[in-house]
Chains A and B, each alone.
Chain A
């Protein structure tokens, strides 16, 4: 059932979570918005469309993955020989993530939880966070969710999807957690539903890019030794901005350290763009060449996770396009790869 939340209703709903100190929402920083714990509901710009008009980017700079897979976390501490679990995982509510990030959350859940041995930290974090997504009515020129199987009004991976219409939001529960959240709100009118559908169609119409993912996969299957990688990567400086801000990139490093006498095992994000990432203990590094590292990123998004989980791991959020200090655009890389494969008759 679709319900309608007037702006004041949504504000009231969020205010409850603010009071409990567990609401995270996009908060404007320096030229972009980032996830911050909100201390007053007035800090929350309910309308993401309004925020865009005020010059904010279409989406938060950091992806919502930080709520299940934080930048760094202590896995456990040691007491003598014993490992002691630390850090109660808090109950959080996240408002304002985009459908692309929701889709990414579904991917991460699948990767960390539904794929062989589960990662208990990620599972617990996902269980304890409520994701209230807001549909995109005005995608940016760097967005391409529809080209990789998503959509600006998609609800995958979210608990609740809100779709902005005149005077408020159309609410759609995706999980039982979401249903609980939306109980008591009036049913949306057919007119409101039609308005949301129209906004969805408008948003989709601005997302023109199409990628033939099957053909791309085939091109990559045979493209490991292609000279194209060298050509595509002269500009790349091999920083980790694209991978760290990618909502589906999930690589991490684990290390032990002692801080003020306390021993702990932590994990931090790691990036395939770093030389150290593939450095063997012997000193040998199979991916010393920057082109090999860039290739790994593209392969991972459009081939490796397809082989492993049956889906591409690019959700088209466009963050890597927006933040790359070298101006690299993964859409251009994809187009070049497809072009080269076509020329070679692959």
Chain B
């Protein structure tokens, strides 16, 4: 039985036995190339569920929207499951609230190409789950040769400036991110306003840098924001860099291990702390 058939069958059973109030997964949209999130609550609707390379969104984000309805089942790939781990660690959800239908993922395809975040994915399989739908997936992640570190600060600034200059501040990146859940985002604070709201490079850069820093040790590099950006901003550039710094300095990977807290939420005596000397 393939993954999708198994998914539909299990969704049906979970709903029938009333173990969950709904199943969070994907369904086909009106267009090829991108699927839509589905919250299935009726057994007769389980056949709408799909799982393929068009499943672009991170379902952990939608988990926050439906969590108050009761226990829900959620389809989770490696990245989604890591986001769930971060949400658990940050006490946004409880483990008992979710039933995780794990699924191995070969990567999201965008316009005929593997999404940039998926190419170097180290976690195609969920790190936590209640059951696996089908076999685990194994592939050799592409090594992303990143020239960024070899550039001078000025050169880096130029690259980032060119990227954020296109930003229209629609906040799609924030809205699709499961770990951007603040009730009032820093850019929306108005008394006092913390960030300039115009679209000049300076204001845009403040937004993007602050976003990246808030994501430090929490971003699981799922690439949902990168794919969501209507202006094609290379958001993975920011995410990758932040994750790399956290990995190198704290030896941690966001959401990879449920018992390993996010880097910036715990203090360890051996943490690098030259900056407070």
A positions within 8 Å CB-CB of B: 29-32, 34, 61-62, 71-72, 141-142, 234-235, 237-241, 243-245, 253, 255, 257, 259, 266, 268-269, 271, 274-276, 321, 323, 325-329, 331-332
| Cβ of B70 under 8 Å from chain A | no
The chain B residue with its CB closest to the CB of A267 is B198
On whether the beta carbons of A276 and B190 are closer than 8 Å, the reply is yes
Known: A239-B172, A327-B31. A61 touches B111 (CB 8 A): no
A71-B199, A234-B39, A235-B37 provided; 6 other pairs, C-beta below 8 A?
Answer: A62-B168, A72-B200, A257-B193, A268-B197, A325-B227, A327-B35
| Cβ of B141 under 8 Å from chain A | no
Residues of chain B within 8 A of A332, CB atoms compared: 30
Secondary structure of the A side of the interface?
Answer: loop
| Cβ of B166 under 8 Å from chain A | yes
Known: A72-B200, A268-B199. A29 touches B166 (CB 8 A): yes
| Cβ of B161 under 8 Å from chain A | no
Known: A234-B39, A238-B175, A239-B176. A327 touches B29 (CB 8 A): yes
What separation, in Å, do the CA atoms of A241 and B166 have in the docked complex? 13
Q: Nearest Cβ distance between residue A53 and chain B, in whole angstroms?
A: 16
Tally of contacts, chain A with chain B, CB under 8 A: 109
Complex A-B: 8 CB contacts under 8 Å = A29-B166, A30-B234, A71-B198, A234-B66, A239-B170, A239-B172, A240-B172, A271-B170
Secondary structure of the B side of the interface?
Answer: loop
On whether the beta carbons of B170 and A326 are closer than 8 Å, the reply is no
Residues of chain A within 8 A of B62, CB atoms compared: 234
Q: Contact check: which of B31, B188, B227 meets A321 at CB < 8 Å? A: B31
Q: Nearest Cβ distance between residue A86 and chain B, in whole angstroms?
A: 14
On whether the beta carbons of A240 and B170 are closer than 8 Å, the reply is yes
Q: Which of A235, A268, A331 has most chain B Cβ within 10 Å?
A: A235
On whether the beta carbons of A327 and B36 are closer than 8 Å, the reply is yes
Q: Contact check: which of A61, A253, A259, A271 meets B230 at CB < 8 Å? A: A61
Proximity bits, B164-206, A CB within 8 Å = 1, else 0? 0010111110111000000000001010010011111000000
On whether the beta carbons of A241 and B31 are closer than 8 Å, the reply is no
| Cβ of B98 under 8 Å from chain A | no
Residues of chain A within 8 A of B166, CB atoms compared: 29, 34
Q: Nearest Cβ distance between residue A300 and chain B, in whole angstroms?
A: 17
On whether the beta carbons of A276 and B188 are closer than 8 Å, the reply is yes
Residues of chain A within 8 A of B117, CB atoms compared: none
The chain A residue with its CB closest to the CB of B22 is A234
Residues of chain B within 8 A of A328, CB atoms compared: 29, 36
Residues of chain A within 8 A of B196, CB atoms compared: 257, 259
List CB contacts (< 8 Å) of B59-93 with chain A: 61-62, 65-66
On whether the beta carbons of A72 and B30 are closer than 8 Å, the reply is no
Q: Contact check: which of B111, B190, B230 meets A241 at CB < 8 Å? A: B230
| Cβ of B5 under 8 Å from chain A | no
| Cβ of B109 under 8 Å from chain A | no
| Cβ of B34 under 8 Å from chain A | yes
Q: Contact check: which of B39, B175, B198 meets A237 at CB < 8 Å? A: B175
Residues of chain B within 8 A of A326, CB atoms compared: 36-37, 57, 176
Q: Nearest Cβ distance between residue B185 and chain A, in whole angstroms?
A: 9
Q: Which of B34, B66, B169, B172 has most chain A Cβ within 10 Å?
A: B172
What separation, in Å, do the CA atoms of A32 and B233 have in the docked complex? 12
The chain B residue with its CB closest to the CB of A318 is B31
Residues of chain A within 8 A of B228, CB atoms compared: 239, 241, 325
Complex A-B, nearest 3 residue pairs according to Cβ-Cβ distance, in ascending order: A325-B228, A327-B29, A239-B172
Q: Nearest Cβ distance between residue A98 and chain B, in whole angstroms?
A: 17
On whether the beta carbons of A141 and B37 are closer than 8 Å, the reply is no
Residues of chain A within 8 A of B171, CB atoms compared: 239-240, 274
Proximity bits, B134-168, A CB within 8 Å = 1, else 0? 00000000000000000000000000000000101
Residues of chain B within 8 A of A269, CB atoms compared: 168-169
What separation, in Å, do the CA atoms of A239 and B175 have in the docked complex? 6
What separation, in Å, do the CA atoms of A29 and B166 have in the docked complex? 10
The chain A residue with its CB closest to the CB of B200 is A72
What separation, in Å, do the CA atoms of A62 and B30 have in the docked complex? 22
What separation, in Å, do the CA atoms of A283 and B34 have in the docked complex? 37
What separation, in Å, do the CA atoms of A302 and B232 have in the docked complex? 29
What separation, in Å, do the CA atoms of A271 and B187 have in the docked complex? 14
Q: Nearest Cβ distance between residue B190 and chain A, in whole angstroms?
A: 7
Q: Nearest Cβ distance between residue B258 and chain A, in whole angstroms?
A: 26
Residues of chain A within 8 A of B29, CB atoms compared: 327-329
